[in-house]
Structure formats: structure tokens, C-alpha cells
Amino acid sequence: MSHDSALAIQAWALPVVKPLSELNDSELVGVAARGDREAFDVLVERHRRTVYQVCYRFVNNHEDASDLAQDAFVRAWKGLKNFKGHSALSTWLYRIAVNVCLNRVSARTPAMEPIDSTDHVADLRIEGAQHAMIREERAAAVRKAIASLPDKQRATLILRTYHDMSHQQIADVLGSSVGAVKANFFHALNNLKKILGTEP
Amino acid sequence: MNHLTPDELIDAVESMLAPGRQAHLATCEVCQRELAGLSSVLNDAKQASVPEPSPLFWPHFSERVHTAIDQDAAPGGNWPAWMRWQVLAPLGVVAMIILGLLIAVPKQDPADQSLALQAPEALQAPENWAMVTELVGSIDLDTASAAGVIEPGVAERAVLHLTAEEQQELTRLLKAELQRAKS
């Protein structure tokens, strides 16, 4: 029995004496799995940003990303009793988010935010305005290029680059082999290089 | 010279290339260029952060999740769309009508069936058979056929189904009848 699953089992038996915000993820999962909505609210609060970011990388726009992230959390709530604690909760949530995104994205072409979006230039006060603008334009171009990659390549690139998941973990999430993950990562980078090389 | 495979290039990008292949990479300009290109685009990707939503977004998002779970948990929330009462109520009415019809339509009385089975036995009684013979005795074949009591050709078909002994007996009776008519 893994350490995580042992904690999860303990959490079932433990009386909740600490505030929910002080419980770790495994303990919160145990409490939430008994139907405690407040415990799940705390989990949402802890992981909403990263789940949203996974979704955003897939669709490259805020509206769809927030819808997908919401859907991922609803599915997580419904499947909470199936979470055995074999992996970190964040990994499990990524898996759900990626599956939600793959299902949704394959059903329709992702909408894109304009490359010259200037909504997110918080660094303007720190860096020179011109430098920050160029950097933001480049980031927007990269995000757009990533969102245009084939599904598996995109998922692999996102999980490996931004969420530091191992090849094996990504293989588990995508239901493929480590070799396939490496191949997808290679093709993702190659395609990204081509797209960014041809676009201004 | 074997250049690095895609797997090995990914290992090299992640600084995990096997030492044996590292020696090749150190001397191969093609692989070095390939590696530099992949590393550069990966670096670009790492720097492309997700735009941070408004701080007001996060509490609103949590609220949305909470509400969505509430709605999902509402009575009937997990039932398929076709199993809602708007669909099931008319189906129930149709089922009730069919059930009512099955109950209301009269079935064949079992007593009738027993009578039908008993009829041949009843006719075996001599006095009953005599009564039938008396009733139909005056009706010839053409009259019976015209009245619809027997179908045309039924006598010929009946003869074809007689056994050899029955056909001999029929022949004997017909000859006797002809003799009686001549005399």
C-alpha cells in the first residue's frame, strides 16, 4: 500500500478536528469522498489555477478554458471515490482535465485569442514597455501554435513542459507508451519550430 | 554514422542522453543543429505563460463549480435525458391503455373448447346420429353445395382420402344401391 493511499484511508477514519484548510490533499479527498462539499471546495481552491492553465493551453482562450476547468472539477467530484491515492491529486486532476479537453477539442476547432492581445502586460512596469510588448507577442504566438498542434502532441507538450510530468506519467494519462510520448514530444517541438518559423 | 533518433534527441533536450551517444553528439554538426532547434523552441514554449485572469475570476470560478455540482446532484440529475417524467408519463399512459385493452377484450371460453372436443363423441350415440341423418337425409349433394353446407368437390376429395378397405366398402354400397334402383 502506498503512502498516499494509506493517508487516504486514514482520512476516512480520522475525526475532522483541524480546519479544512489545514488538511493535506489526501485528507481532504477522504473527507470530500464522504460527501463534504466544503472539503471539495478547498481542493478546488488549491488546484483551480493549474487545472485552468492546462485547459487554457489546450484552447488558448479564457472562456473555453474556464468552462473546461469547471467540467473537469465536476467530473473529479463525481469520481472522487475512485481516486485511490496511487498518484498525487494534482496528477489525477491533470488526467481528468486533459481528457475533458481532448474530448471537447476533438469535437470542435478551438477558438483563438488574437495574437496581439494586450490584456496581460503586467510586466510593463518592470521591463521596458517595448521589450514587454515583444515578449508578450511572442508568447501569444507560441500559445497559438501550441493550440494548433494535434491533440496527443499538444497534451504531451503541455504536461511535460508546464506541469513537469514524467514520460511515464504522461503515458498513463494518455493511455500510451513512454516511446509514444517521446515521439509525440519530438513531433510537437518540431511542428512548433515549423509553425513559429513561418509565422511572424 | 548513426544520427540521434527522435527518442535520443528528446533525451538530449532533457539532458538525459546516454554517454555513448553523447560522444556522437559532440562530433556531429547535424545532430547539434537539430538539438539546438528543439531546445530553442522548447525554451520559447516555457516562457509562454498563460495570461492571468482577473483576481475576481477565481472566487467566481469556485462558485460556478459549486453550482454546477449542485445542479448535477439535483434529483434526476444523473438520469439520462429520455428517462425524465416528460417522456415517461406519456409512455406510462400508453402502457395503461394497452393493459386495459388486454383485460377488456373477451377471451374464448374454455367451456366452448370442451364442447367442441366432445361433439364427435356425442354424435357416436346411435339416437343422435339418427336425428342428424333424418335432418339431412332429404338434402341431396347439389342442394347442400348450393346452401354452402359443403364445398364443391368435397366428395371427390373425401374419396381420395379413404383407405383401401373403405373404398371397397364404398364400392359395395354403390353397387348395392344401383342394383336396388334397377330392381
**Which residues in chain B touch residue A186, judged by CB atoms under 8 angstroms apart?**
6-7, 9-10, 38
DSSP element (H, E) containing B68? helix B57-73
- List the CATH number of the domain containing A104: 1.10.1740.10
A135 contacts B61? CB cut-off 8 A? no
Q: Is the pLDDT of residue A179 over 90?
A: yes
Q: What secondary structure, in 3-state letters, does chain A show? A: CCHHHHHHHHHHHCCCCCCHHHCCHHHHHHHHHCCCHHHHHHHHHHHHHHHHHHHHHHHCCHHHHHHHHHHHHHHHHHCHHHCCCCCCHHHHHHHHHHHHHHHHHHHCCCCCCCCCCCCCCHHHHCCCHHHHHHHHHHHHHHHHHHHCCCHHHHHHHHHHHCCCCCHHHHHHHHCCCHHHHHHHHHHHHHHHHHHHHHCC
Please check whether residue B13 touches A, CB under 8 A.
yes
Residue A85: C-alpha distances to residues A34, A173, B65 (Å): 15, 15, 23
Q: Which of A48, A50, A182, A191 to mutate to test the interface with B (most CBs of B within 10 A)?
A: A182
- Look at residue A81 in the predicted model and tell me its pLDDT: 86
Residue A152 pLDDT class (50, 70, 90 cuts)? very high
Contact B2, B20 (CB under 8 A): no
Alpha-carbon span A45 to A40, nearest angstrom: 9
Residue of B nearest to A120 (CA): B51
B62 contacts A44? CB cut-off 8 A? yes
Which residue shows C-alpha cell 481528457?
A99
In a domain, A173, yes or no: no
**Which residues in chain A touch residue B4, judged by CB atoms under 8 angstroms apart?**
none
Alpha-carbon span A28 to A133, nearest angstrom: 42
Contact A70, A116 (CB under 8 A): no
In a domain, A61, yes or no: yes
Q: Is the pLDDT of residue A41 over 90?
A: yes
- Look at residue A116 in the predicted model and tell me its pLDDT: 43
What ipTM describes this predicted complex?
0.75
In a domain, A92, yes or no: yes
**Which residues in chain B touch residue A78, judged by CB atoms under 8 angstroms apart?**
72
In a domain, A164, yes or no: no
- Look at residue B92 in the predicted model and tell me its pLDDT: 77
Nearest to B41 among A78, A179, A196 (CB): A196
Q: Is the pLDDT of residue A103 over 50?
A: yes
- Look at residue A134 in the predicted model and tell me its pLDDT: 83
Alpha-carbon span B8 to B35, nearest angstrom: 10
- Look at residue B87 in the predicted model and tell me its pLDDT: 59
Q: Any idea what the Cα angle at residue A161 is, between residues A155 and A164, rounded to 5°?
A: 100
- Look at residue A97 in the predicted model and tell me its pLDDT: 95
Residue of B nearest to A180 (CA): B7
- Look at residue B104 in the predicted model and tell me its pLDDT: 74
- Look at residue A135 in the predicted model and tell me its pLDDT: 80
Backbone angles phi, psi at B49, to 5 degrees: -80, 160
**Which residues in chain A touch residue B13, judged by CB atoms under 8 angstroms apart?**
189
Residues A32-42 have a mean pLDDT of: 91
Residues A83-101 have a mean pLDDT of: 90
**Which residues in chain A touch residue B61, judged by CB atoms under 8 angstroms apart?**
48, 52, 66, 69-70
Please check whether residue B16 touches A, CB under 8 A.
no
* Position with higher pLDDT, B77 vs A72: A72
- Look at residue B77 in the predicted model and tell me its pLDDT: 47
Among A22-36, A126-140, B125-139, the range scoring the smallest mean pLDDT is: B125-139
In a domain, A28, yes or no: yes
Alpha-carbon span B53 to A139, nearest angstrom: 16
Q: What is the pLDDT of residues B111-124, one digit of tens each?
A: 555 544 455 565 56
Alpha-carbon span A147 to A112, nearest angstrom: 8
Alpha-carbon span A89 to A77, nearest angstrom: 12
DSSP element (H, E) containing B2? none
What the block records as the C-alpha cell of A119 is 490584456
Number of folded domains that form chain A: 1
Please state, rounded to an integer, the average pLDDT across all residues of chain A: 82
Sites in chain B below the pLDDT cut of 50 = 76-77, 115-117
- Look at residue A64 in the predicted model and tell me its pLDDT: 94
Q: Is the pLDDT of residue A70 over 50?
A: yes
What the block records as the C-alpha cell of B11 is 533525451
Q: At what angle do helices A151-161 and A129-147 cross, to 10 degrees?
A: 130
In a domain, A118, yes or no: no
- Look at residue A114 in the predicted model and tell me its pLDDT: 45
In a domain, A106, yes or no: yes
Residues A87-106 have a mean pLDDT of: 87
Which range marks the domain in which residue A61 is found?
A: 1-110
**Which residues in chain A touch residue B44, judged by CB atoms under 8 angstroms apart?**
138, 142, 192, 196
Please check whether residue B33 touches A, CB under 8 A.
no
A44 contacts B65? CB cut-off 8 A? yes
A45 contacts B51? CB cut-off 8 A? no
- Look at residue A19 in the predicted model and tell me its pLDDT: 85
Q: What is the pLDDT of residues A10-27, one digit of tens each?
A: 555 555 567 888 888 989
B72 contacts A186? CB cut-off 8 A? no
**Which residues in chain B touch residue A41, judged by CB atoms under 8 angstroms apart?**
62, 66
Nearest to B69 among A74, A142, A186 (CB): A74
In a domain, A17, yes or no: yes
The residue type found at B81 is A
Q: At what angle do helices B29-47 and B19-27 cross, to 10 degrees?
A: 100
- Region at B84 (left for phi over 0; alpha for psi -120 to 50; beta for the rest): beta
